[in-house]
Structure 1
Amino acid sequence: MPSELIVPPLYSPTSPAIHPRHTDIDAGTTAWAEHFRIGSQELRGRLVKHDIGTFSARILPEGRDEVILLLSDFVLWLFGVDDGYCEEGELGHRPGELAGVLHRLIRVAQNPQTSMLDNDPLAAGLRDLRTRVDSYGTTDQAARWVDGLREYFFAVVWEAGHRRAGSVPGLNDYTLMRLYDGATSVVLPMLEMGHGYELQPYERTSPVLRAAAEMASFIITWDNDILSDHKERHSPGYHLNVLRVLENEHGLTADEALDLAVAQRDRVMCLFVRLSKHLACVGSPQLRQYVTSLAHFIRAAQDWGISSVRYTTPENPANIPTGFTDVPTDDSPEPLQIPAISWWWEVLPADATRLEERKQTWSHVR
């Protein structure tokens, strides 16, 4: 990719926010990583400089301290798996062997008392994380956390298959798997745990809320691909992100792929905003809090993406923005032509806009 490729300010309609104890949380995660020896010493030394605690404090700016610290430790652990096993380790080119290791880790997450991987630092860290998930969450939230971890593991094995073959997937397949290999779905139960509530099953499984959660995952992972493309393309070995997929799919230049990726995430962001307003009108207080947390999650990833040395790469500076814009490049209400996600545009009721207008009128009357 040409070094002059410049990422423009991304559309972000959500205001930034951060928990006041973010410095303590970041220090706590550094201590946790050292205690459990997550990753190699070299990898661990890099990860603890990436402001992961600050990222987590932005996701739950008004959340419980202990859950924000749990989330921060977990995100660092995920990078220990992703960077250590998948991106930089030999297993990242051996999908069969990688699947075996990850299945054993899933067993540890399911049953921490299982005598398996007893001397493995990642397994030890995972046992601690599961114990804390049980302490701060419900039985159902713990089960969904394990399910989300399984989805993530399944997706990174898929990616390892492409890494081994040196192949680039089609846009539809990439979009589907990126909803999971970004590990965003594993964080979702912690959004509830962070505020001490549990969504009702009929709310969590409703098509409109499932679509909103997937949209958040899409925006977060598209933004991550856009902001980390410089780092990945200047690193040795295979890389895979949306810009490369779009270049391969449509025969685009890097600049053209960047423009298209930004337009795609902007169109989804506009739909997310419309869905959020609808859910604010019809949802329970817990559902409204959940949607607010999804918005914070999106903005947290954006703020982290333009500030963490993980993406700014001071040794080889990236041309990424220092701020955001409140104007989307594409606000079309038409669905993206990506079959895996086109159903999102079908879940918003036809009268949703009128309902929001009525709510605004009532608020002025009162």
Structure 2
Amino acid sequence: METELTVPPIFSPLRPAIHPRHADIDVQTAAWAETFRIGSEELRGKLVTQEIGIFSARILPEGREEVVSLLADFVLWLFGVDDGHCEEGELGHRPGDLAGLLHRLIRVAQNPEAPMMRGDPLAAGLRDLRTRVDRYGTAGQAARWVDALREYFFSVVWEAAHRRAGTVPDLNDYTLMRLYDGATSVVLPMLEMAYGYELQPHERDRTAVRAAAEMASFIITWDNDIFSHHKERRSAGYYLNVLRVLEQDGLSTKEALNAAITQRDRVMCLYMRLTEQLSAEGSPQLRQYLSSLSSFIRGAQDWGISSVRYTTPDDPAGLPPAFRETPTDDRHEPLGIPAVAWWWELVPAPCERFAGRRPVEQTV
């Protein structure tokens, strides 16, 4: 199998944006990590160089600065859990013990006043995050944030079971897991907090709106797998990545890359059609929510090709400097993944929306 891989410019019809205070937010997040001693000193030293504050500023380009900073700190905290315990730590190979730790952290998130894990830096950071979630969000948003955190924890325990066994899941199971272990759903309540509204249940819980959020998660995590493959493949331990899953079906690494790009392009096209449909009939709050989902997708893309977390300067990854405006595949056909096949039932088959358009590369 090939070991060197150059990722071509990928399709993104979404426009980049960034919060004007992005540099200050990034500095503040580095200081927050030091204050709460998130992760080991070595891990923390890496995380504070990865422009996580700038990532948050791309997700919420016009949001309240306090919530942009909250999101940045939370993403860094998540990396402290994921890198420190799940992927690189010993607990990442002991799903039972990992589940125990994560359940204790969930209790801290639910009830910060609980007298437990008092000397643990991750718990201290989580208490601070919960306090700020309560300050800038509603009780309902705080509850959904905790619920989504539980979903994320459940998925990384599932991943740890594969890591312990050295197995690779099939594409359907991996897709379902990736909707949660990318921690995208935990960010969703903060999309609302940042703009000072709460999406009402009759809109947020609609099947089509939930599908839009899942499609955004799929695109973000597939892009992340594509951009992080170079870093992950060269790590000393076990890793899970869609390219590796596709290789299990007999594809070469290059063929797996092309297949993953095709999959995310088709979902991106479907996402654009669905969000256009929902925006036309939804409330101003729903339109803002959908706009924030798109900013989340594009922000993750821009950060993915620019952060040292994935460019790995000491061993440069072959990442693209720009994006293209046309998909490699815009067919209105399900991907053959049962867990998400129902998405295509929500949107009428389109006209050839992208036919005849010439590829135009975009810079970040």
TM-score range for the pair, normalised by the shorter chain length = over 0.9
Unmatched 5+ stretches in structure 1: 354-366
Q: What residue number does 2:118 align with? A: 118
Q: Give yes or no for contact 1:267–1:330 (8 Å, CA) kept in 2.
A: yes
Q: What residue number does 1:197 align with? A: 197
CA distance in 1, matches of 2:184, 2:349: 29
The answer to whether the aligner puts 1:139 opposite 2:139 as a matched pair is yes
Deviation, 1:276, is: 1.2
Deviation, 1:5, is: 1.5
Tell me which amino acid in the other structure corresponds to 2:246.
L
Deviation, 1:116, is: 0.8
CA distance in 2, matches of 1:253, 1:46: 32
Q: What residue number does 1:356 align with? A: none
Q: What residue number does 2:212 align with? A: 212
Q: What residue number does 2:342 align with? A: 343
CA distance in 1, matches of 2:2, 2:311: 16
Tell me which amino acid in the other structure corresponds to 1:302.
Q
The answer to whether the aligner puts 1:295 opposite 2:328 as a matched pair is no
Correspondence 1:245-256 to 2 at 5 A: 245-249=245-249, 251-256=250-255
Q: Give yes or no for contact 2:2–2:254 (8 Å, CA) kept in 1.
A: no
Q: What residue number does 1:68 align with? A: 68
Q: What residue number does 2:315 align with? A: 316
CA distance in 1, matches of 2:286, 2:236: 44
Tell me which amino acid in the other structure corresponds to 1:70.
L
Q: What residue number does 2:361 align with? A: none
Q: Give CA deviations for 1:303-356 in whole Å, capped at 9, x if unaligned.
A: 000000000000100011011000100100111100000111112267999xxx
Q: Give CA deviations for 1:54-96 in whole Å, capped at 9, x if unaligned.
A: 0000000000000000000000000000000011110000000
Q: What residue number does 2:242 align with? A: 242
CA distance in 1, matches of 2:178, 2:3: 25
Q: What residue number does 1:22 align with? A: 22
User: TM-score if structure 1 supplies the norm length?
Assistant: 0.95
Q: Give CA deviations for 1:188-224 in whole Å, capped at 9, x if unaligned.
A: 0000001000011010000110000000000000000
Q: What residue number does 1:231 align with? A: 231
Q: What residue number does 1:333 align with? A: 332
SS in 2 for 1:157: helix
Deviation, 1:237, is: 1.1
CA distance in 2, matches of 1:340, 1:351: 23
Residues 350, 269 of structure 1: alpha-carbon distance in 2 compared, 3 angstrom cutoff? closer
RMSD, aligned CA: 1.3
Tell me which amino acid in the other structure corresponds to 2:182.
G
Residues 129, 147 of structure 1: alpha-carbon distance in 2 compared, 3 angstrom cutoff? same
SS in 1 for 2:248: helix
Q: What residue number does 1:264 align with? A: 263
Aligned residues: 352
Q: What residue number does 2:13 align with? A: 13
SS in 2 for 1:298: helix
CA distance in 1, matches of 2:345, 2:64: 35
User: TM-score if structure 2 supplies the norm length?
Assistant: 0.95
Percent identity at matched positions? Answer: 74
Q: Give yes or no for contact 1:33–1:44 (8 Å, CA) kept in 2.
A: yes
Deviation, 1:279, is: 1.2
Q: Give yes or no for contact 1:25–1:68 (8 Å, CA) kept in 2.
A: yes
Unmatched 5+ stretches in structure 2: 353-364
CA distance in 1, matches of 2:346, 2:11: 23
Q: What residue number does 1:168 align with? A: 168
